[in-house]
Chain A
Amino acid sequence: MRDVDLDIAHGERVLLLGPSGGGKSTLLAALAGLLADSGEQAGEITVDGLPPADARSRVGILFQDPETQLVMRRAGDDVAFGLENRGVPAERIWPRVRAALERVGFGYPLDRDTASLSGGEQQRLALAGVLALEPSLLLLDEPTANLDPDGAALVRQTLDRSLRGDRATLVLVEHRVAEALPLVDRVVALSPGGGVLADGPPDEVLRRHGDALAALGVWVPDAEPVPRRTRPTAPPGPMLLTARQLGYRYPDSPAPTRSAPERSAPALAGVDAEVGAGEAVAVRGPNGAGKSTLALLLGGLLPPSSGAVVASTALAGRYAGRPPHRWRAAVLAERIGSVFQNPEHQFLAATVHDELALGPRRAGHPAADVAKTVDDLLERLHLAHLAEANPHTLSGGERRRLSVATALAAAPRVVILDEPTFGQDLRTWTELLDLLSGLRDDGTAVVAVTHDADFVAALADRCLDLERPA
C-alpha cells in the first residue's frame, strides 16, 4: 500500500475495497495504532488530530479470526476484559457488559464457556467486547472471512442489528460488497498500483468502476453470473473410488452412555459414494455432517471405523488390493491428492519452487521431469513471479493457489478439496474454477467439499448431500 490520501469525517461509514494482499488490513492496523515500527513507512495518519498510538482508546477493531480474539474462558469475563484494561470502576463494568451483550443479541448466560461457542457466536462475542468500550471509530477487518456460511450470516445480522443507527465512524473491509452495502454510505477502493482508485457514494462508485473493481477481485453485486463450466460430452471414465457404508467415530469419543448419548454420535455413518474419472462431485451438508471427515476418509488419510473405501485398479494399479489409508504416503500422493481447508497446514518447504518439487521428488521422478512439472504448475497457477518466495509470506489467494498446486504436482487422478473457495476474492475464485474444470475435462476426478452455492452451480456434475448423523 502506498500514496493513499484519505479523509474520513466523524460519523462516516466507509467500505474499503482493494486487491487481495493490497494492504487493507495494514491500513486498519495503522488506524488502530497497532503497527509496530516494522516495514517501510511513509506519510502520516492521524485520528482526531492525534497519532493513532495516542488515540487508541477511541478506536475499536474486530479481526477475522474469532479464536484469537477471545481472552477469557467465560463469555462475560471476556467482554469485561477491555473495560478492566481501561480502568472502568468495578460497579460500572457489569452493566456495560450486559448492555454490550444485549446489543449484539448474545443469548447465553455470562458464564458460558467461550470454547463451546460456534465461530459465528464467538465473533459476535468478540464484537460485544469491542462495542463495550464505546469506540468512536470502529474498524472491521473482514469480520466474516473465517466463518462458515451460517456463522457469516449470523455475524452480518449481528453487525446490522448493532450498528444501524450508531453514530460511530465505521471503516469496514469486506470483499463481498452486496453484504456490506447496507452498513455503509461511502466506498473507497484502493488501486493495486498505489493511491485511491475510486471514492464516493456506493451507487456511484459501483456504477462507474464496477468492472475495474471486479478485476481487482471484488465481488461486485448484480454482476453477471459466472457461466457454467460444462463437462465435455464424453461419457465419464472408469470408476476410481468407491465408498461403501462408510463410517467414522473419533478414537477418543466415549462409548454411548445414558447420561451423555450425544457425545457418542459418530462423525460420519453409513455413507455410500463413488467418483469416476472426469467428473466433479460437490459434497454438501450442514455443519457437523462430517463433510471434512468424508474428505479425509476418501483421501486415504483416516482409517474408516466401519465400511470401506475401495480404489479401483484404474486408480490404484498394483495397490488395488489394499485400502488407500494403508498405502505409503508417496503412493497415495500420486493417486489421490488432498487439499486442506487451511493451506498453511500443507506447506513444508522454504520456497514456492521447492514446495512444488517436493511431491514429484519423493515419488522418485527424474530431475528433468520434476523441473518440467514445477515450471508448468508455476505457469498455470500464476505463481511464476513468486517461485523463490516463502510460502507463508504469500497473500491469501496465492496461498490457496499454491496449496492446490502442491496436490497437483504428483499428478493424482483424484483430487479432493476441502472448502477450496472459502473466503477467496472473485479473482482467485474464478481461477480455481477454471483450474478445476480444466482438470475435470482432462479426466481427473474432482471432489470438493463446499458451502459455496455459486461454485457448485458453476462446476459440479453431481452433488453428494450429507446429513448430520443421528
Chain B
Amino acid sequence: MRTLAPLGDTSAPLARRDPVAKLAAMMVLTIALLAAVDPVTPAAALAAELALVPLFGVRYRALLRRSGTLLVSVAGIAVTQLLFGTSDSGPVLLDAGPLVVTAGVATTALGLALRIVAVALPGLVVVATTDPTDLADSLTQHLRVPARFAIGALAAFRLVPLLAAEWELLTLARRARGVDAGGNPVAYVRLVVSTAFALLVGAIRRGTRLATAMDARGFDSHVPRSVARPRRFTAADAAMIAGAVGIAAAAIGTSVATGAFRPLM
C-alpha cells in the first residue's frame, strides 16, 4: 500500500486539518473545476494548489513521483483529444496530411488535461496526508456516518495489504500443482480468473473471521458507542474550507477577467 503511506510531515499546518475539512475543501475545488471547461480556470486553480503543497508538509519531488501514472495518462488523453478532437473552430495550427489541429481543438485538449490534474492533485495530497483512522473518526463524529460503516471499512482496509502476499502465494501454489498457462493466452486468462476467485474466497473467509472477532468485542451491541479519540472541528478547519472557496472564486474570476471563461452549460 505504497500510495497510502504518509508522504510528508504530518504535523504541517494544513496536513493537521480535520479530514472532513480537507474533503470539503477538495469538493469545493472539484465542483468549480468541473463547472468551467476553459484552460484558464484550471490553470489558475492549479497554480494556487501547487503553491499550497508545502503547507501540507509534502515535498514537490515526492508528489511528482507519486503522480507519475496520473501525468502519463493525462498526456495520453490530451494527445488523443488533439488527434481525434472534432472541433474545427479557430485558425489551423498544424496541417500534416490527414492530421489537422485547430486552435479550438488545442484549447479544449489543454483545458481537459489541466482540469484532470487540477482535480486530481488535491485528492492525491489529501489521501497522502490523512490517516485513515482520523478519517473514520472525523466522519463518524462530524458527519454522523454510521460506525458500522466507517469503522468496518477501516478494519477491512487493514486486510488489503495481505492480499498482495496472498496473490503471490496462490500463484506459486498453482505452479507447484502443475498448473500454468505455458504461453497460451486463453489458459492464462483462465488461470488468472481462477487465482482471483481463490483470492476472493480467502478474502471473504478472512473478512468473516474479522467481523466475528469485532462482534465478539461488542461491535454489534446496541449500546451507543463512546469515542476514545474525540475530535474538534476548529476555526482553522472552517478557514480551510473558506480558503478553498476563495481559490475557486479567484480561479473563475481570473478566467472571466481574461475573457477565456466557458461554463460547462
Q: Which residues on A are within 8 Å of B, measured CB to CB? A: 29, 32, 34, 56-57, 59-61, 63, 65, 67-74, 77, 80-90, 93-94, 97, 114-115, 126, 129-130, 133, 296, 299, 301-302, 328-330, 332-334, 337-338, 340, 342, 344-346, 348, 358-359, 362-363, 392, 406-407, 410
Contact = CB atoms under 8 A, between A and B. Distances in A.
24 contacts: A34-B216, A57-B221, A63-B216, A68-B210, A71-B154, A72-B154, A73-B132, A73-B158, A77-B229, A81-B151, A81-B228, A82-B217, A83-B226, A86-B218, A87-B223, A87-B224, A114-B158, A133-B218, A328-B180, A329-B177, A344-B202, A345-B169, A348-B179, A359-B178
Interface in B151-204: 151, 154-155, 158-159, 161-162, 169-170, 172-180, 182, 194, 198, 201-202
Contact of B176 (A29, A83, A332): A332
B175 A329 contact: yes
Residue of B154, B180, B182 contacting most chain A CB atoms (<10 Å): B180
Contacts of A90: 226-228, 230
Nearest to A362: B178
Contacts of A88: 226
B212 interface: yes
B88 interface: no
A301 B226 contact: no
A334 B178 contact: yes
B83 interface: no
A143 B149 CA distance: 29
Contacts of B223: 85-87
Residue of B173, B174, B176, B210 contacting most chain A CB atoms (<10 Å): B176
Interface in B26-50: none
Interface residues of B, number: 46
A11 to B, nearest CB: 22
Contact of A358 (B154, B177, B228): B177
Contacts of A69: 210, 213
A330 B178 contact: yes
Which 3 pairs between the two chains have the least Cβ-Cβ distance?
A333-B178, A329-B180, A85-B218
Contacts of A358: 177-179
Given A85-B221, A85-B225, A333 B154 contact: no
Nearest to A74: B133
B224 to A, nearest CB: 6
Nearest to A347: B198
Contacts of A87: 223-226
